[in-house]
Amino acid sequence: MSTKTHLELTGVDIDFPTPSGPFKALSNVNLKIKRGEFVSLIGHSGCGKSTVLNIVAGLYQATKGGVLLDGKEVNEPGPERAVVFQNHSLLPWLSAYENVELAVKQVFKNSKTKAEMKEWIEHNLHLVHMDHAMHKRPDEISGGMKQRVGIARALAMEPTVMLMDEPFGALDALTRAHLQDSLMEIQADLNNTVIMITHDVDEAVLLSDRIVMMTNGPAATVGEILDVKLERPRHRLELADDPEYNHYRAAVLSFLYEKQRKPDEAAGQPEKNEKKAKSNNPAQKVLNTKQQDAEQRGEEAA
């Protein structure tokens, strides 16, 4: 990990046009990311995390300020900033292999031979443990497998930055844990720069080098940044009892549920969202009940 700034967001504002005038979703977002760093974005639902990611991806244009990647301004989407979308976004009429192939053909059309491309596609599917089902179509594989293929597709673009929008949000806890482990392995190998949005505190602490906590919208911005100095490789079981790990967890939880507590939550609004599958992380077993309460509320708010 070099210390030079690799990706830089400076004074980013965005106004969305709405029928009742412009809506300021982000205001003065500043963030510097080093090469090879794994950064999580965490914040309450609707605060503007996806918007930040989409601006870095080039899918949205900042109204004010901008994004520099290796000194060059970002103003359109491109494969060097690969995106893993929340709901996989695989083309349903193509097999896993063909989905990755579409990306590989586009990115390496002038630099790889057919045989090299085939090898590269299979290599990336292997990285995410999808060798056995690579000729199946999205409707024939599970949600976790689809997300794996989405990650393989992004990895296969050999991106400078990987952007992941709640990549495991729709998965059950066990599958999520598997994918987190896979992602850590891959990350140890390839040392990609990653920005990942999550609403899962454990996931953020386990995976990240830094956790960027966003304030509530409208006009959301970066609230606090937490450096996670846990040694790698990290193992979820060992970390469960690690005081340092629990200290980081508590820091994020306190930001989300004390400092950025949502007004409707404070008022004790009745639960309206369906309960999501509770995290199966063993770390949760050592939580005191207060934290568990807080987390549960958080999951329902997300």
Partner 1 sequence: MSSMALKLLKPLGFPDKLNLASLIKALVVPMSGILIFLFIWNIGARNIHTSLGEFPGPAQVYEQSKNLLNEHNRERQKEADFYQRQDDRNAKKLAKNPDAEIKIRSYTGKATFIDQIGTSLVTVLAGFFAASLIAIPAGIVIGLNKTLYSAFNPVIQLFKPVSPLAWLPLVTMVVSAVYVSDDPMFAKSFVTSLITVSLCCLWPTLLNTAVGVSTISSDLNNVSKVLRLSWLTHVIKIVIPSAIPMIFTGLRLSLGIAWMVLIAAEMLAQNPGLGKFVWDEFQNGSSNSLGRIMVAVIVIGLIGFMLDRIMLMLQKKVSWDKSQELR
Ligand X SMILES: Nc1ncnc2c1ncn2[C@@H]1O[C@H](COP(=O)(O)OP(=O)(O)O)[C@@H](O)[C@H]1O
Q: Does 58 bind ligand X (CB under 6 A)?
A: no
Piece of the chain touching ligand X by CB under 6 A; list 43-51, 173-181, 227-235, 236-244: 43-51
Residue 196 host element (H or E): strand 193-197
Q: Does 175 bind Mg ion (CB under 5 A)?
A: no
DSSP class per residue in 114-146: HHHHHHHHHHHHHHTT-GGGTTS-GGGS-HHHH
Q: Does 216 bind Mg ion (CB under 5 A)?
A: no
Q: Which does 25 bind (CB under 5 to 8 A by kind): ligand X, Mg ion, partner 1, none?
A: ligand X
Chain centre to alpha carbon of residue 81: 13
Place of tokens 């400092």: 259
Instruction: Retrieve residue 164's tokens.
Output: 């992941």
Residue 300 burial by CB count (10 A; 0-12/13-18/19+): exposed, middle or buried?
A: middle
Q: Which does 23 bind (CB under 5 to 8 A by kind): partner 1, ligand X, Mg ion, none?
A: ligand X
Q: Which does 79 bind (CB under 5 to 8 A by kind): Mg ion, partner 1, ligand X, none?
A: partner 1
Nearer to Mg ion, 50 or 124 (CB): 50
Binding mask 39-58 for Mg ion (x = CB under 5 A): -----------x--------
**What's the closest the beta carbon of residue 158 comes to ligand X, in angstroms?**
26
Q: Does 78 bind ligand X (CB under 6 A)?
A: no
Question: CA 215, CA 211: separation in Å to the nearest integer?
Answer: 13
Is the Cβ–Cβ distance between 244 and 230 less than 8 Å? yes
**What's the closest the beta carbon of residue 231 comes to ligand X, in angstroms?**
30
Q: What are phi and psi of 206, to 5 degrees?
A: -65, -40
Residues that bind ligand X (CB under 6 A): 16, 18, 23, 25, 43, 45-51, 217
Residues that bind Mg ion (CB under 5 A): 50
